[in-house]
Structure 1
Amino acid sequence: MKLFGFRIPMMASLVLWALVWEIVGRMDVIFLIPPMSSIISAGFGLVATGSWQSASLVTVRSFVLGMALAIAVGVPLGIAMGRFRIVDNIFGLWVNMFVSAPLSALVPILMILFGLGETTVVVTVFLFAVWIIVLDARAGVMQVPPSLIEMGRSYGASRFTIFTKIILLSALPEILAGIRIGLIRGVKGVVIGQILVSIIGYGELFELYSRSFDMERFWALTMILFAAAMLLSAVVEHFEKRIEYYAGAR
């Protein structure tokens, strides 16, 4: 972005909002918005506490398990839907229904099925992430140029070689894009799941800080989650850019 001929880095917007937040907090307009300096200070104190470290361990474990299941199920299902029309006809309606449904409303049902524990959070992360992964993997496979597949067959390539060397590599950018968006949705899922369960991980901390009106730690924990989601997205996006040349034929 350029302003009056000068290049402004993207991080400048975050600095601007932090300054506005600090001013509003210092004006003491509303107790729900403490100064940004107080939130940052509370954040450094928060990460040194045993309660945050224990909650982080539970949250990371739930997130990793849920995302691993989402990727393990979503990528093969999306590829199968892109390659075989019968699979697409069977699962297409359900995938589109769940990707647009308010999944937060399903968490109370999951609590009945799986109890008030970590299993419910893992399933919530899975449900939030898997559908977008399926759709992007399906889109990537469906956009593979038929000419590449025909060329592989004309050179005598086996079905396995065509799948691994042509279809999978050509669809890889969309697959990684789906995983990147799935990671962000998974962070949302783990937070919503833990808040509604309210007895484990970050959900327990959010409940504690909101009840005691400890808004500095409440916002510090929220910003830590935002930073984690942005970092995960940036890591996957880095790998996306490195393999973009596989899609060049399109």
Structure 2
Amino acid sequence: MEIKGFQIPKMASLLIWVILWEIVGRLGLVMLFPPFTEVLAAMGEVVTSRSFGEAIRITAVSYFAGIGLALLIGIPLGFLMGLVPTADKMLNMWVNTFLSAPLSALVPVIMILFGLGTPTVIVTVFMFAVWIIVLDTRAGVMHITPSLMEMSKSFQANRYERTKMMVLSALPEILAGVRLGMIRGVKGVVIGQLLVSIIGVGALFSLYQQNFLMAHFWALVVIMFTCALLLAEIVARLEKRVQYYAGVRN
């Protein structure tokens, strides 16, 4: 962003919201919003508490297990839909339905199937993340130029070489789906732990809310948002390094 020739960092917009948050908190206009300085002070207490370390461990295990499962199923399914028109016709409607559906309403059903505990949270993360990974992988595969496939056949490339070529060609869209899936997965892990399995970070959210520790509550929200943004930024940087493939395939 540039104002009168001066380059303003993108993070400056966050500073504006922080100032507004502090003003609203100091004026006491909304009891649910303490001043941001109090949230920062509470953040130290949250991070150094004994329960936080265990909560993060449980949450991280559930999150990465769910994301890993979404990658293992979502990417091959996206390739299947992109390469086989019949499979695409059969599955496309269902994938789009689940992507746009209010998945939070399905969490109690998942609880009935998998019980209370970590398995329910893992499946919830999977459900939140997998559909966008499938659709973006499908889009990447469908953008592969047919001439590349013809060239591979003319040079008598084996199956491994053709598969590698397709993966590299679709990689920009695959990584975009992974990035969005990881962000949605953070939402899934919190909802799964909070609505059904009161464990991990969900247990801390419930504890702070019930005891009206709003500074601690918002401190935990900021921490979770920061983790989601850091994960997304890591994948986004990787996306920039593979944009080359999006250009050469055309």
| Contact 2:120/2:197 (8 A) holds in 1 | no
2:51 alignment counterpart? 51
Counterpart code for 1:17: W
Instruction: Provide the rounded CA distance (Å) in 1 between the counterparts of 2:19 and 2:232.
Output: 25
Runs in 1 of length 4+ with deviation above 2 angstroms?
none
TM normalised by structure 1 equals 0.97
Within 1, Cα distance between the matches of 2:83 and 2:35? Answer: 54
Deviations 1:77-135 (A, max 9, x none): 10111111222223222211111111110001111111121111100000000010000
Structure 1 counterpart of 2:235, one-letter code: V
Q: How far off its partner does 1:162 sit?
A: 1.6
Are positions 1:218 and 2:241 aligned together? no
How far 1:234 moved relative to its partner? 0.1
- Asked if 1:7 is matched to 2:7, the reply is yes
RMSD between superposed Cα atoms in Å: 1.0
The residue number in structure 2 matching 1:113 is: 113
What is the count of residue pairs matched by the alignment?
A: 249
Tell me how far 1:198 sits from its aligned partner.
Answer: 4.8
Write the distance in 1 (CA, Å) between the matches of 2:30 and 2:80. Answer: 53
1:17 aligned onto 2:17: yes
Q: Cα deviations across residues 191-248 of structure 1 (Å, max 9, x unaligned)?
A: 1111102520111111111111100000000000000000000000010000110111
Partner of 1:79: 79
1:60 is the counterpart of 2:60: yes
Sequence identity (%):
55
Check conservation: 1:172, 1:246, Cα contact below 8 A: yes
Distance 2:97 2:179 in 1: 21
Using structure 2 for the length normalisation, give the TM-score: 0.97
The amino acid that maps onto 1:148 is L
Instruction: Find out whether 1:29 has 2:29 as its counterpart.
Output: yes
Equivalent pair of 2:117/2:197 in contact (CA under 8 Å): no
- Residue matched to 1:93: 93
* Counterpart check, 1:102 vs 2:114: no
Question: CA–CA distance in 2 between the matches of 1:242 and 1:93?
Answer: 32
- Tell me what 1:138 maps to: 138
Match for residue 197 of structure 1?
196
Mark the runs of 5 or more structure 2 residues left unpaired by the alignment: none
Match of 2:183 in 1: 184
Report the secondary structure of 2:48's partner residue: coil
